[in-house]
């Protein structure tokens, strides 16, 4: 296997080295090999300046080699004249690759001008840019030399309101407004435009419907000397059209909300003439509803999501919030708001909100497969959802799941682990809680989620688990999400487990494992904060940050003391209705950064860490709340639940391969190929560890020590192929073990140096969606 692996690598390197990157560069032309920016002591980011250079060289992966250009060079010049097979291969290589960037002198001159404009707009008013080119062996290296000069800075800031005291009062007294301009800052035109936008947004929130940033101009006085600038912002009057067609300047006017109407379409695309034939009715608050046959949303739901009313001053922030609330409803495919000036003496604007529905019912499916050490595992989930079950965008979801995993090598159970179950979830797009006012419920963009599930695990015994959940989710601004697990209850009951416990725990005295495979229950609460802009199509670089905290057993502990419930004679644990309960605290942090390289390539950095600590009525953290390593979203050189803890050897005993501490680090490079195919290479690192040595006698080597844990970090790498169908993505990953901490005591932990084995050192994963 090792020889075959080396042979593949050797062939790959020979092919890539044999194809010249200048193969398709014609005589007299030059490949743009590099672009350099020579700026001394710049206060600006070099990457921002480089984005104004009109011609960039071919992409280098990790800054080392141009894989896309070499793939393009692998195609034959005469491939279109060959037989069909060669022709299609050549086309595929060209689509996967990138044609050579040929040096263009005109684009170099244009880049000089663009760079000058950029630096002058940033306050370097005397900036000069020149360039030179070095030609060598059909390659060109362009260097842009930037002489920034002394920057100009803002000395004084003034605002001429042209006698409009109403606007002056708003700007000077609004507690949420703060000017972005400060004395001493660079004379940056982008900052000045941001200030104009900021002021425009402020006034639109105070009723000025027609106000835009174009009504604010600025003049810059550079005669102050010593590279200083005095800035004067000036308010322009509103230009109004008279009946005779002439225009006259008048003061800016505030507008009020007139009539409000909500059109609920019966299908996504409806023509204007069809809407005219709709029925209409008014809600209790006077909102006019237009619909065909029957609106898909109740009138009370529409009233709760419209955040303004007739007669109020126009407020762009409330308009945006209304749009956000409607778009967050699962049954709404798209929401639009239009304001129309009534041109009356009351200065009113009518509002029409149009709601387009999505499909009311949907079916979802999720599958995952993995194989390692010759054992194969697979799983799947099938779901059905109704997105408007009570005509208030309540989403009812039923799911059934099944998974099976081979566990050869264990003689205490069957040779397979089977998990199956069903769940039902009701998501309600508002807060359900007593004593809260209607105004508070309207202002908070929150959901209530009720959940119930029952699952069965069979592995020589039967392990039943009942789960009940009650949680709240809400969003503050677009990417900030909060979640409270108000109630999360789990009951675990063991059946046909006496023989298993007698056979297994006669030789395994670990009280944590014993506790987790006897009857127990968990009642916990938790909080999760998430910042996630990964779904944004506008942003190039994207981030995810997630922090969670939960604790369990405290309510049961209080009831146990108050009600004097029984204590188990054998374990000494407190009982609630003859079942022991768990007490623990758990916290996790997760961070991911999706870095844009170009339209074909991205690098994703991911880190995750967590710790769980038992206390009180528990010797260990419940199995459901413990951490495990490996799997399609972990260290992909290992199958799920086969890594760790620490240097504990992998015995296919997934009962013991869990921990109280988790660390995971991932680096993934994603490259779009052609059609819907995407290639990824990755490096993963991490492990899990236990906290208490005296409680983990059957997990020797799994304890966490500050001076030892870094030596026990597992390392794996590999490659994957993804098929992106827009709505979902299928992923195939092949992981290879580099550093295996379970072999530390044998001295063979570095697998590439000690003869790799396909059965032990490779793991294949099939999953839906990105790992992070």
User: What pLDDT is recorded for position 506?
Assistant: 58
Res 543: pLDDT: 95
DSSP per residue, 386-445? ETTTTSSS-EEEEEEEEEEEE-TT-SSS-SEEEEEEEEEEEEESS---TT--HHHHHHS-
The residue ranges of the chain whose pLDDT is under 70 are 1-19, 61-64, 76-90, 92-93, 370-375, 406-415, 497-516, 568-571, 651-655, 693-698, 754-755, 758
> What is the rounded CA–CA span in Å between residue 299 and residue 74?
64
Q: pLDDT value at position 687?
A: 96
For the chain, helix, strand, coil in percent to 5 are 20, 40, 35
pLDDT of residue 84: 46
Burial status of residue 716 (CB atoms within 10 A of its CB: 0-12, 13-18, 19 or more): buried
Distance of CA 716 to the CA centre of its chain: 24
Sequential DSSP letters for 334-388: EEEEEEEE--STT-EEEEEEEEEE--SEEEEEEEEEEEETTEEEEEEEEEEEETT
Residue 108 CB neighbours (<10 A): 20
Q: What is the pLDDT of residue 516?
A: 63
pTM above the 0.85 mark? no
List Cβ neighbours of 530 (8 Å cut-off, separation of 6 or more).
480, 481, 482, 483, 544, 545, 546, 547
Listing DSSP states for 478-501 in one string gives TTEEEEEEEEEEEEEEEES-HHHH
| 3-state secondary structure at position 709 | helix
User: Look-up: residue for tokens 């800016």?
Assistant: 252
CA 312 to chain centre: 38
- pLDDT, one tens digit per residue, over 258-283 is 999 999 998 877 877 788 888 899 99
Closest CA to 145 of 32, 53, 37, 252: 37
pLDDT of residue 736: 92
Question: Is there a contact between 157 and 231 (Cβ–Cβ < 8 Å)?
Answer: yes
The predicted-structure confidence for 365-413, as pLDDT tens digits, reads as follows 887 776 655 567 788 899 999 999 999 999 999 999 998 876 655 554 5
Q: Which two tokens stand for residue 198?
A: 């900021």
Q: What is the pLDDT of residue 473?
A: 92
């Amino acid at each position: 296997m090792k020889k075959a692996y080396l042979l593949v690598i050797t062939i790959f390197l020979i092919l890539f080295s044999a194809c010249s990157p200048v193969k398709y560069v014609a005589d007299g032309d030059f490949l743009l090999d590099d672009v350099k920016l020579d700026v001394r002591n710049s206060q600006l980011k070099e990457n921002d300046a480089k984005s104004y250079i009109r011609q960039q060289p071919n992409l280098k992966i990790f800054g080392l080699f141009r894989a896309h250009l070499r793939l393009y060079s692998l195609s034959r010049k005469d491939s279109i004249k060959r037989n069909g097979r060669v022709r299609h291969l050549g086309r595929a290589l060209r689509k996967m690759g990138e044609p050579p960037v040929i040096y263009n002198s005109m684009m170099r001159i244009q880049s000089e001008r663009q760079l000058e404009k950029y630096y002058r707009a940033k306050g370097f008013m005397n900036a000069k840019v020149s360039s030179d080119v070095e030609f060598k062996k059909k390659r060109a290296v362009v260097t842009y030399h930037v002489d920034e000069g002394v920057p100009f800075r803002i000395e004084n800031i003034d605002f001429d309101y042209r006698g409009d005291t109403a606007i002056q009062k708003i700007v000077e007294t609004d507690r949420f407004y703060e000017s972005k301009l400060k004395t001493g800052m660079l004379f940056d035109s982008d900052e000045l435009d941001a200030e104009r936008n900021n002021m425009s947004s402020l006034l639109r929130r105070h009723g000025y419907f027609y106000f835009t940033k174009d009504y604010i101009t600025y003049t810059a006085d550079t005669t102050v000397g010593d590279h200083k600038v005095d800035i004067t912002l000036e308010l322009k009057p509103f230009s109004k059209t008279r009946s005779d067609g002439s225009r006259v300047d008048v003061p800016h006017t505030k507008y009020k909300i007139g009539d409000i109407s909500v059109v609920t379409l019966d299908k996504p695309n409806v023509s204007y003439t069809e809407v005219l034939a709709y029925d209409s009715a008014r809600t209790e608050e006077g909102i006019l509803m237009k619909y065909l046959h029957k609106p898909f949303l109740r009138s009370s739901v529409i009233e709760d999501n419209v955040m303004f009313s007739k007669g109020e001053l126009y407020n762009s922030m409330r308009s945006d919030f209304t749009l956000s609330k409607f778009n967050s409803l699962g049954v709404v495919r798209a929401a639009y708001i239009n304001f129309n000036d009534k041109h009356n003496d009351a200065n009113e604007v009518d509002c029409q909100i149009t709601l387009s529905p999505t499909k009311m019912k949907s079916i979802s499916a999720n599958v995952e497969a993995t194989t390692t050490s010759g054992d194969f595992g697979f799983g799947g989930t099938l779901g059905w959802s109704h997105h408007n079950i009570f005509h208030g965008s309540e989403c009812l979801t039923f799911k059934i799941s099944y998974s099976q995993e081979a566990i050869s090598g264990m003689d205490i159970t069957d040779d397979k682990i089977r998990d199956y179950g069903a769940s039902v979830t009701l998501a309600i797009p508002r807060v359900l809680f007593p004593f809260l006012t209607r105004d508070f419920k309207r202002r908070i963009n929150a959901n209530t989620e009720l959940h119930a599930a029952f699952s069965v695990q069979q592995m020589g015994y039967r392990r039943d688990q009942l789960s009940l959940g009650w949680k709240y989710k809400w969003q503050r601004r677009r990417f900030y999400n909060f979640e409270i697990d108000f109630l999360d209850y789990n009951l675990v009951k063991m059946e046909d487990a006496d023989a298993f416990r007698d056979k297994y725990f006669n030789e395994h005295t670990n009280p944590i494992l014993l506790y987790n495979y006897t009857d127990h229950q968990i009642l916990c609460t938790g909080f999760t904060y998430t910042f996630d802009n990964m779904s944004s199509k506008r942003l190039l670089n994207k981030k995810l940050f997630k922090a969670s905290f939960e604790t369990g057993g405290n309510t049961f502990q209080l009831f146990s003391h108050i009600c004097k419930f029984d204590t188990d004679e054998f374990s000494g644990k407190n009982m609630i209705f003859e079942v022991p309960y768990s007490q623990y605290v758990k916290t996790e942090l997760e961070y991911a950064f999706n870095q844009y390289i170009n339209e074909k390539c991205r690098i994703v950095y991911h880190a995750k860490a967590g710790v769980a600590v038992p206390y009180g009525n528990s010797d260990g953290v419940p199995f459901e709340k413990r951490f495990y390593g490996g799997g399609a979203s972990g260290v992909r050189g290992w199958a799920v639940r086969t890594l760790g803890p620490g240097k504990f050897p992998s015995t296919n005993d997934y009962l013991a391969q869990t921990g109280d501490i988790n660390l995971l680090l991932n680096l993934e490079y994603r490259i779009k190929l052609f059609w819907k195919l995407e290639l990824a290479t990755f490096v993963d690192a991490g492990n899990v560890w236990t906290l208490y040595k005296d409680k983990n006698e059957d997990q020797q080597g799994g304890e966490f020590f500050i001076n030892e844990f870094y030596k026990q970090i597992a390392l794996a790498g590999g490659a994957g192929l993804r098929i992106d169908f827009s709505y979902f993505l299928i992923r195939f990953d092949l992981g290879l073990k580099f550093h295996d901490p379970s072999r530390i005591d044998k001295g063979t932990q570095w697998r590439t140096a000690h003869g790799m084995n396909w059965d032990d050192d490779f793991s294949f994963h099939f999953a839906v969606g990105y790992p992070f």
